[in-house]
Amino acid sequence: MSAVIEVRNLHKRYGDTVAVDDVSLSIEPGEIFGILGPNGAGKTTTVECVAGIRVPDRGEIEVLGHDPLRDRAEVTRALGVQLQTGQLPDQLRVAEALELYSSFYPDPADWRELMESLGLTPKAKARYSKLSGGQKQRLSIALALVGNPRIAILDELTTGLDPQARRDTWELIEGVRARGVTIVLVTHFMEEAERLCDRIALIDAGRVVTVDTPAGLTERAGIDQRLRFRPSRPFDDALLTVLSDVKRVEHRGGFVVVDGTANVVAAVTAVLARNDITAELLRVEQASLEDAYVSLLRKQ
């Protein structure tokens, strides 16, 4: 299937600062594509160029075969955007905002149905200033979808939300994708990316470090298992670092954390036993996306 978004060698600088440095991405129809990276990595600038909000210094962008700047009307009709810094007038009511935005499009979604599906109907007459953080995020999603877009860009969607509101929003995003909408999700939350994304572009300092599935990123990091324990007595790290199955040994608050291959548990516990060291409060963990993220950025 042809990509719905193609970015080739995108470059953008602000004065002496290079925000995006030759980024290339290809996003397939129907997927949730994550853009993950630390603050200041160039994530927001990248998607703002894709949406035609910012003008790149060089590079090529195609959204459904259209140039976001030259073919602005076509891209605007096909693209829904929820920006990190989005804001509405304090006195604007929820229903008024949805009705107004729907009037901008030739074939909008039923804004009343959208309001209902996103749980905003009880707040239809509420003013924007009276909404909670989670309700504002729901309204942002509704406004991004009211034009019946084929693609939705959602930037730092759950920043500032409490854990329950964040999980509720994740369910909404999964429901949006189920409607056939391709989603570009910008985030720095590891759990969010791991839960929602089919593929992830890891971006750091304006460059793409790698693109893969969450499982693929973990595999690339080379961490199969993590072993965490509190030793019964201090010992020299060299006791473990010489083992071929051990990739890294760290100390965290009285605990020893060992990353390694699938055989790391047997290898480490055998060495500890031979040296009369008890591994207290032993816990074995599978590597997470956060582990892969840290490892890959270290390598970079």
pLDDT in tens, 79-137: 999 876 678 999 999 999 999 999 998 889 899 988 988 889 999 999 999 998 888 88
Per-residue pLDDT reduced to its tens digit, 219-232: 777 667 889 999 99
| Choice among 80-89, 188-197, 209-218 with the minimum mean pLDDT | 80-89
CA distance 64 to 61: 10
pLDDT reading at 1 higher than 70 = no
Number of Cβ within 10 Å of residue 103's Cβ equals: 10
Which residues, 6+ apart, have CB-to-CB distance to 93 below 8 Å?
124, 125, 126, 127, 128
pTM of the shown model:
0.78
Return the top range by mean pLDDT from 197-211, 217-231, 284-298. Answer: 197-211
- Average confidence (pLDDT) over 266-286: 92
**Could you give the dihedral angle defined by the CA atoms of residues 215, 297, 26 and 141, in that order, rounded to the nearest 10 degrees?**
80
